[in-house]
């Protein structure tokens, strides 16, 4: 063992659970979105996060996405805790969802850092007509565990 294997596992570690003062509730969906989540801390609104199927978004052809993958669109300035809680809500309510995606302007290091603090990891930079974006992803634990079992790949 080179000693770096444990570092790789640490990259996949989800942030610690937030306390009960943080809540997430589905509210009326914004136009063009599958759902809208309102994040509150101690009963006070912190941010909203819109959710849509990535295949219905402008990012559909930018990486190999599945029909159940979701794109999260947090308010500008949403804290990592809001993104984390919205992500956990989607993973829990959309049990078949294999991947969550956040898109940040490629040069917005603050937004990328917030996404990473929320449990996401950088995957790729993509170019659209309106600009260049860093795509960050998060997967539920069952997907991460499935990817480690490469010696147990079904052959049928």
DSSP 52-112: EEGGGSTTTTSS---TT-EEEEEPTT--HHHHHHHHHHHHHH-TT---EEEEEETT-HHHH
Whether residue 9 has pLDDT greater than 60: no
Residue 155 forms part of a structural domain: no
Residue 69 forms part of a structural domain: yes
Q: Measure the CA–CA gap between 52 and 86, rounded to whole angstroms.
A: 13
Q: In this structure, what token pair is assigned to residue 75?
A: 């308010």
pLDDT band at 4 (very low <50, low <70, confident <90, very high): very low
pLDDT digits (tens, 9 = 90+) for 85-122: 999 999 999 888 889 999 999 999 999 999 999 999 99
Q: Measure the CA–CA gap between 84 and 80, rounded to whole angstroms.
A: 6
What is the extent of the structural domain holding 47? 5-150
Alpha carbon distance, N-terminus to C-terminus of the chain: 33
Residue 65 forms part of a structural domain: yes
Residue 56 forms part of a structural domain: yes
Residue 141 forms part of a structural domain: yes
**pLDDT in the model for residue 66:** 82
Q: What percent of the chain has pLDDT over 70?
A: 82
**pLDDT in the model for residue 55:** 93
Element (H, E) at 156: none
């Amino acid at each position: 063992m080179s000693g770096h294997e444990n570092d790789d596992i640490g990259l996949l570690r989800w942030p610690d659970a937030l306390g009960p003062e943080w809540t997430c509730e589905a509210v009326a969906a914004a136009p063009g979105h599958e759902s809208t989540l309102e994040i509150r801390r101690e009963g006070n609104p912190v941010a909203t996060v819109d959710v849509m199927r990535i295949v219905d978004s402008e990012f559909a052809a930018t990486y190999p996405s599945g029909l159940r993958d979701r794109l999260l669109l947090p308010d500008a300035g949403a804290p990592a805790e809001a993104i984390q809680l919205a992500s956990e809500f989607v993973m829990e309510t959309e049990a078949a969802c294999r991947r969550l995606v956040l898109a940040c302007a490629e040069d917005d290091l603050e937004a990328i850092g917030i996404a990473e603090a929320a449990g996401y990891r950088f995957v790729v930079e993509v170019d659209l007509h309106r600009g260049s974006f860093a795509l960050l992803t998060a997967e539920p634990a069952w997907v991460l565990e499935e990817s480690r079992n490469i010696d147990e790949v079904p052959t049928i």
